[in-house]
């Protein structure tokens, strides 16, 4: 069975801290790994990773994929209260355009 | 136009009602998706349409009936739902094998 596991399930940090969110996966037909941020409504797209070792960056957020060890991390530096959200990791499958989601990490940034 | 729109935002229906959820995108995406999301859980895939053809049905009960009238529109017809079907229903679209973009969702309550 295809599985995506995120850790930690939740964490609380103070503004200015740096956080690292983890995502490991065991799937039969891996194509890509995606990160989404979900606040009250729909998930918003952050990154899609297909190649190992190539860091993707967007402002204070960055992510990298290790296809040998089957995991990805999402880093957020200098956190702000607006970063408070659920961060979802999803694996895109080789066939059928399917995404398998992890349970998410709940991040709360305190001011 | 870079967004996915969904109507209605909220829907309350009885178990004998028939209703439809609508989703529209004008990004030229050829894959569209329906997800169901319960509180504090990740989105669960229900259906995938690729090039207006149903490519994945994740063993969804027949009281949910998807329809893709054209490449920009996706409907979800609801009939004889159960209270446990109450959830946030998310539509998404993508180019085939690319990142998915989500609409704001329809919050469905079944009485």
* pLDDT tens figures, A22-52: 999 999 889 999 999 999 888 999 999 999 9
Taken in order B96, B100, B103, B109, is the CA torsion positive or negative? positive
Q: What is the DSSP letter of B100?
A: -
Confidence of residue A97 (pLDDT cuts 50, 70, 90): confident
Cβ–Cβ gap B42/A34 under 8 Å: no
The answer to whether residue B65 neighbours chain A at the CB level (below 8 Å) is: no
Chain B hits for A34, Cβ within 8 Å: 99-100
Share of chain A above pLDDT 70, in %: 100
The answer to whether residue B7 neighbours chain A at the CB level (below 8 Å) is: no
State residue A41's pLDDT score: 83
Distance from the Cα of residue A12 to its chain's centroid: 17
Cβ–Cβ gap B97/A31 under 8 Å: yes
Q: What share of chain A is helix, strand, coil (3-state, %, to 5)?
A: 5, 60, 40
Q: How many angstroms separate the CA of residue B15 from the nearest CA in chain A?
A: 25
Chain B hits for A96, Cβ within 8 Å: 48, 50, 55-56
The answer to whether residue A67 neighbours chain B at the CB level (below 8 Å) is: no
CA distance readout (Å), A42 to A30, A54, B4, B42, B51 = 24, 27, 10, 11, 24
Distance CA A6, CA A18 (A): 18
b (16+ CB within 10 A) / e for A13-44: beeeeebebebbbebeebbbbbbbbbeeebbe
**In chain B, which stretches have pLDDT less than 70?**
1-2
Distance CA B41, CA B22 (A): 23
Distance CA B40, CA B62 (A): 25
Confidence of residue A92 (pLDDT cuts 50, 70, 90): very high
State residue B56's pLDDT score: 87
State residue B1's pLDDT score: 61
The answer to whether residue B27 neighbours chain A at the CB level (below 8 Å) is: no
Is A95's pLDDT higher than 80? no
Chain B hits for A90, Cβ within 8 Å: 42
Distance CA B80, CA B75 (A): 17
State residue B2's pLDDT score: 66
């Amino acid at each position: 069975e295809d599985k995506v596991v995120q850790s930690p399930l939740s964490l609380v940090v103070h503004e200015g801290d740096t956080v690292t969110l983890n995502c490991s996966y065991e799937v039969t037909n891996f194509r890509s790994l995606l990160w989404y941020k979900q606040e009250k409504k729909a998930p918003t797209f952050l990154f899609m990773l297909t190649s190992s070792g190539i860091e993707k960056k967007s402002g204070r957020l960055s992510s990298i994929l290790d296809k040998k060890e089957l995991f990805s991390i999402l880093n957020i530096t200098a956190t702000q209260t607006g970063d408070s959200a659920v961060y979802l990791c999803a694996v895109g499958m080789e066939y059928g355009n399917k995404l398998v989601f992890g349970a998410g990490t709940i991040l709360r940034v305190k001011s | 136009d870079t967004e996915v729109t969904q109507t209605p935002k909220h829907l309350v229906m009885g178990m004998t009602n028939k209703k439809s959820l609508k989703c529209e995108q004008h990004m030229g995406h050829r894959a569209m998706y329906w997800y169901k999301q319960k509180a504090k859980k990740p989105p669960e895939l229900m259906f995938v349409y690729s090039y207006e053809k149903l490519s994945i049905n994740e063993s969804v009960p027949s009281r949910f009936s998807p329809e893709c009238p054209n490449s920009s529109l996706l409907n979800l017809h609801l009939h004889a739902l159960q209270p446990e079907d109450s959830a946030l229903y998310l539509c998404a679209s993508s180019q085939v094998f690319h990142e998915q973009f989500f609409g704001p969702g329809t919050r469905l309550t079944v009485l």
